[in-house]
């Protein structure tokens, strides 16, 4: 797990280090870790609408109208009672998509595409709010000063 990659002094912190959101084992990209509970709330609460950007490669070209469907805020995923919040879909090529979400339902990107008959083959999150990976290599990390984040509501 990601916590085993942290320096020992961070694993022993009180308050404990926690992730801001999550990435499943088949998803790469930006993951924030912090011991600031106010920051976790600010970045993950749906009311703050912090955008998360994903790049997805698909097994097939999605059906026409998908951009509008995802943007409509009417797509209800199997097992959910509430529809997904409006999301911004941009097709970079017939099978390569960028999707920007402001919520974080369980496996949401994969489930949104699957609901329309498309399997996500690869998924990568290059951006969370205003933070980007830039040139940070997979498996590497960097410390950010707390003032990187505007914590006022």
Whether 113 has a pLDDT exceeding 90, the answer reads yes
In angstroms, the CA 31 to CA 23 distance is 7
Burial class (CB in 10 A: 0-12, 13-18, 19+), 34: middle
Q: Considering the candidates 24, 59, 80, 130, report the single residue annotated as catalytic.
A: 24
pTM score, two decimals? 0.91
Burial class (CB in 10 A: 0-12, 13-18, 19+), 62: buried
Angle at 128 between CA 115 and CA 50, to 5 degrees: 80
Average pLDDT of the residues in 6-24? 86
pLDDT computed for residue 138 by the predictor: 87
Confidence class for position 153, pLDDT limits 50, 70, 90: very low
Is 24 among the catalytic positions?
Answer: yes
Write out the two tokens for 68.
């509008």
Selection from 6-20, 34-48, 75-89, 129-143 with the highest mean pLDDT: 75-89
Confidence class for position 12, pLDDT limits 50, 70, 90: confident
Average pLDDT of the residues in 59-80? 97
Write out the two tokens for 61.
């070209």
145 or 86, greater pLDDT? 86
At a CB cut-off of 8 Å and minimum separation 6, what does 64 contact? none
DSSP designation for 16: P
Confidence class for position 152, pLDDT limits 50, 70, 90: low
């Amino acid at each position: 797990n990601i916590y085993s990659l942290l320096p020992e002094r961070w694993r022993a912190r009180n308050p404990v280090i926690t992730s801001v959101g999550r990435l499943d084992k088949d998803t790469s990209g930006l993951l924030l870790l912090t011991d600031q509970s106010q920051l976790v709330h600010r970045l993950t609460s749906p009311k703050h609408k912090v955008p998360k950007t994903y790049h997805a490669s698909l097994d097939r070209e999605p059906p026409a109208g998908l951009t509008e469907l995802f943007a409509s805020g009417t797509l209800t995923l199997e097992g959910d009672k509430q529809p997904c919040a409006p999301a911004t879909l941009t097709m970079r090529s017939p099978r390569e998509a960028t999707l920007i979400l402001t919520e974080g339902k369980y496996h949401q990107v994969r489930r949104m595409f699957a609901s329309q008959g498309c399997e996500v083959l690869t998924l990568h999150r290059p951006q969370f709010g205003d933070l980007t990976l830039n040139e940070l290599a997979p498996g590497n990390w960097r410390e950010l000063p707390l003032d990187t984040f505007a914590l006022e509501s």
